[in-house]
Every structure is written in C-alpha cells, then in structure tokens.
Structure 1
C-alpha cells in the first residue's frame, strides 16, 4: 500500500511529464489530437491538485481529452483548413492532363509531351501501341512514368 500512496503523492509530476510529451508531439504533428490530450492531462493534474484519487484523475483526463477530440477538434480543423488552396499540385495536377505522343507508347516504353510542356516517359494502359501524334490523357503516374490512354477512349466527365 505504501507504493500506491507514493505514486499518488507524486502523480502531479507524471501529469506534467505527460502534458509536455503531448505538447511536443503536437508541435511535430500539428493535428490538434495531442493538444486535446494535453488539455486532458491538465484536467487530470487539476483533479490531482484538488485531491482526487488516482483512478478518478485518469478517468477525468480521459473524458476531457475524448470530449475535446470529438467535439472541439473537428471545427478547429475546418477553420484551420478553410483558407487552403484546393488546386491539385505536383503529381496530382498531372492526372487527367492532355498530351501528345512523341515516340510510340506501348506497355513497355514510349514518350509523351503533356500540355504543360513537360516530356514524360510513358506507358499505355490500353491494349496495343499508341502512335506518335496521337492525343492522349494521363490516367495515373507511377514514379517517373506517366500511364496514358488515347483521348478517344476517355469518357466525358
């Protein structure tokens, strides 16, 4: 029983350590999850300072953290991401981009020039080969290879 009493007497140090660990993780992830958990830790610390038993401190910290994660975190994330630019960038911006075949594109090799001016190694997702000059559209990117389909096979969006 003396061990349990010692743990309960020094629980405030554990709460401070947990709060600091959660805040450091939050600074690295920036996702508000560990911020809510650290606020739950503050509630656990407060209940310890008010004399609650250890089991009640853990319950209070868990309930506060859970409530904040489910009730406060979603609106905070929406507000944070409200000003983001929805325009795709990098590889995502290439999907659906039109282009023209420069050298015959088959399932193994080929080259296309996309409408943005980039020249990519390409493979076809269609059967057979696509001849030079044929208009194509990028269906996916795998590494440095654009997988293309002839424009005539595309379904209207």
Structure 2
C-alpha cells in the first residue's frame, strides 16, 4: 500500500461535499436587495403613493417572481405578509432601520432584513393611515424608541395579525 497517498480522506471530502452541498436547507444569504422607493411608487396593499407618508416602509420579494412589492408602512407590509396565502411565499423582506433614518422621510440606504429587525408596536409616532410599526436593526434602539414614544418591542416572528389590527 502506498503510504503517501491514501484515497480515504479524499473520498470522505467528496462525500461531505455531495451530502451537504446538495442540501435543501434554506439559504441564509439574501439573493435580492431592497430598491429605492420612487416618488410615484404605490403601496402594494392599499395603492397610496408611498412617499407621501412618514415612517418606515417595507418591501418584499415573493418566491413566485422577481417583482418587488413596496408598502407605504410596515403595518401594510405585515398585513400583506400575514395573509394565509402569503405566509410561506415571502422570500426577502426589508424595512427601514429608523435608528439611521429620519421619521418624516426614511432614507432608502438604510433598508435592513425585516426578519432580524425589532419592532415597536403602539408608539405615538404615525405612519400611513395612522399606527405603524417602528423598525430597528438593534433591540436596544427599539427599546430606546419605546421609552421615548411608547409602545412595546417585538421580534419579527412575534408580530401577529391581531397585534397590528388593534
């Protein structure tokens, strides 16, 4: 037997690549990015002009295509995402990080992954059609906002349709 070359480590490496490389596990990296909200863009849910309103906005790509849906508020975003036919369809979802952006005119350079964001529900800050969810990249920023403007802090997975409709 040739001690300089043993096929066992190479076969083990190839087997590992085949086993894990072909996995159906969801990809962690977002495939698509948020896009700028243009002055004529309409809310996917209510049809209002998005840029006419203060507060954080949202965007979502569905698994069925490359079109991005834009929302005039995080409340409309969640109202859409939580509909039974949409719950499993959303792929990439974005919201503004309001610790980096002015409330009255959110900056589209500060879109973040909505699934890792923290939300303040029930603050006295208004968005499109009233109540909205203030969105933040860091829980500490959400807590500071809550202390100043009221409301409770929630993670993405804790937001329910009942919570946003109250």
With the length of structure 2 as denominator, give the TM-score of the two structures.
0.25
More helix by share: 1
The structure with the larger Rg is: 1
Higher relative contact order (CA 8 A, sep 6+): 2
TM-score (norm 1): 0.26
Name the one with the larger strand percent: 2
